[in-house]
Amino acid sequence: MKWEYIQPVTIRFGEGIVKEVKDVAASMGCKRGILVSDPFFLTNGLADKIVKDSDGTLVCVYGEVSPNPEVKEVDACAKLIRENDIEFVVALGGGSALDCAKASATMCFREGESVRTYHGTGVPMPQKHLPLIAVPTTAGTGSEVTCVAVLSDHELGKKGPIVSNGFYPSIAMIDPELTYTLPPRITASTGIDVLCHALEGFWSKGHQPVCDALALHACEIVFKYLRRAYKDPQDKEARAKMAEASVIAGLAFTLPKTTSSHACSFPLTNLYHIPHGEACGLTLDCFARINAEVENGRVHEFARKLGFADTYALADAIHELKVDLGLRLDLKDFNLTDEQVAELVKTSHHPNMLNNPVEITDEILNEMYQSMR
Ligand code: NAD
């Protein structure tokens, strides 16, 4: 088995470290920055506070990022960066703000071009990019340490990742206090995303020992602390542990890549607007059962290390976790027609599906979606 582990992002973790953004930017020698965020942080005052604390270093704000950010938002943000001679980018928010910022930090060098050129087209993303400080506010995507930016293109009806080594942030600043304002529903959805990253990174065809160890650590934390963070948003220990699990799971999947649950999540979000993490979690226990027997039982062994009898017991535990978190267990409320099921089957064959250790056929997908109707 051949493998390589690289991780170019400096990670700083701790309660209150968001205050250090200015010093971190200064240490990078950057003087003119942009803050990229979503409307929640413009309304709750945190974006303003970060700009004020920056003593003039952050000279403008792009605050229009929507959940599952659109290619047009990237183009608009890249334009603002160009117009203001920006030298570095600070991304504040969930995966959506971080991903929009990552893509914009590259696209700002491509005047006259849209990010659409690189979205699901196979055209490699140019590498030149501005330095990025990523400040996550959800405990979910791990985007602060990944080389991935997931974008949506509503006109062309697609959602999917762009992968580029230029997307690695320079610095990830993880401040668990920023997650205290997450309502239980978003805590649940983003938290189950952490479990998907860890498990999919583990069973991915691209798995490797370093990421395996990270995946196990992240899964242990999710089973122990996610229910607590969901029940009590102010549970500081649970919030800190989930923030830790999120970044560790990001490291666990960014090299092996995600697999079947993420592939299915793209059309589930795009067509039925199911929030990202919830869409990934919807199929996670199904794929755990499908992948249970691969590679001499390595998924069973992983499940046993987590304290379960085998992968089937792990799948049951994922189901129970979703029940306790009030997450979606099926697609009944959409009253899917046969045509809609067929469309889901077809559009779930995103390239990430090819990373799954078991070949996922139309028949398997059809059976899974039929059982959820
Ligand atoms: P998000 O960024 O879409 O945010 C969801 C909602 O939560 C928004 O309304 C936002 O305003 C709100 N929110 C965020 N932080 C908050 C806080 N602290 N308090 C209150 N509200 C808050 O959610 P997400 O799940 O973090 O990101 C999802 C996106 O990330 C999807 O597009 C997904 O495909 C992508 N993603 C990217 C990667 C990657 O490696 N780049 C990995 C997984 C998922």
Q: Tell me, using a 6 A CB cutoff, whether residue 126 lines ligand 1.
A: no
Q: Which atom of ligand 1 is nearest to the CA of 146?
A: 40
What pLDDT digit, counting tens, does each position of 188-225 carry?
Answer: 999 999 999 999 999 999 999 999 999 999 999 999 99
ipTM of the complex: 0.99
What pLDDT digit, counting tens, does each position of 69-97 carry?
Answer: 999 999 999 999 999 999 999 999 999 99
Measured CA to CA, the distance from residue 343 to residue 347 in angstroms comes to: 6
Residue having the nearest C-alpha atom to atom 26 of ligand 1:
94
Sign of CA dihedral 10, 14, 17, 18: positive
| Residue in the structure block whose two tokens are 């046993």 | 304
Q: 41 C-alpha vs ligand 1 centroid, how far in Å?
A: 12
Residue 159 has a pLDDT of 87
- Specify whether the CB–CB gap between 80 and 65 falls below 8 A: no
pTM to 2 decimals?
Answer: 0.96
What pLDDT digit, counting tens, does each position of 342-366 carry?
Answer: 999 999 999 999 999 999 999 999 9
Residue 173 has a pLDDT of 98
Question: In whole numbers, what is the pLDDT of the chain averaged over residues?
Answer: 97
What pLDDT digit, counting tens, does each position of 228-266 carry?
Answer: 999 999 999 999 999 999 999 999 999 999 999 999 999
Pairing of strands 33-36, 58-62: parallel
Using the predicted structure, report yes or no on whether residue 158 has a pLDDT greater than 90: no
Q: What percent of the chain has pLDDT over 90?
A: 96
Q: Tell me, using a 6 A CB cutoff, whether residue 281 lines ligand 1.
A: no
Q: Tell me, using a 6 A CB cutoff, whether residue 186 lines ligand 1.
A: yes
| Residue in the structure block whose two tokens are 């994922």 | 318
What pLDDT digit, counting tens, does each position of 277-306 carry?
Answer: 999 999 999 999 999 999 999 999 999 999
* Nearest one of 81, 84, 83 to 102, comparing CA atoms: 81
Q: 120 C-alpha vs ligand 1 centroid, how far in Å?
A: 21
Residue 1 has a pLDDT of 83
Report residue 133: phi and psi, to 5°.
-105, 120
Pairing of strands 148-153, 158-163: antiparallel
Residue 30 has a pLDDT of 86
Q: 257 C-alpha vs ligand 1 centroid, how far in Å?
A: 19
Output the CA angle 73-75-76, nearest 5 degrees.
Answer: 65
Measured CA to CA, the distance from residue 16 to residue 53 in angstroms comes to: 13
Q: Which atom of ligand 1 is nearest to the CA of 167?
A: 41
Least trusted range by pLDDT, from 152-166, 308-322, 340-354: 152-166
Q: 36 C-alpha vs ligand 1 centroid, how far in Å?
A: 13
Q: Tell me, using a 6 A CB cutoff, whether residue 256 lines ligand 1.
A: no
Using the predicted structure, report yes or no on whether residue 157 has a pLDDT greater than 90: no
Written as one letter, the residue type at 57 is T
Q: What percent of the chain has pLDDT over 70?
A: 100
**What would the 3-class secondary structure string for the chain be?**
CCCCCCCCCEEEECCCHHHHHHHHHHHCCCCCEEEECCHHHHHCCHHHHHHHHCCCCEEEEECCCCCCCEHHHHHHHHHHHHHCCCCEEEEEECHHHHHHHHHHHHHCCCCCCCHHHHCCCCCCCCCCCCCEEEEECCCCCCHHHCCEEEEEECCCCEEEEEECHHHCCCEEEECHHHHCCCCHHHHHHHHHHHHHHHHHHHHCCCCCHHHHHHHHHHHHHHHHHHHHHHHCCCCHHHHHHHHHHHHHHHHHHHCCCCCHHHHHHHHHHHHHCCCHHHHHHHHHHHHHHHCCCHHHHHHHHHHHHCCCCCHHHHHHHHHHHHHHCCCCCCCHHHCCCHHHHHHHHHHCCCHHHHHCCCCCCHHHHHHHHHHHC
Task: Choose one of 98, 137, 248 to mutate for the ligand 1 pocket test, by most ligand atoms within 8 angstroms of C-beta.
Answer: 137
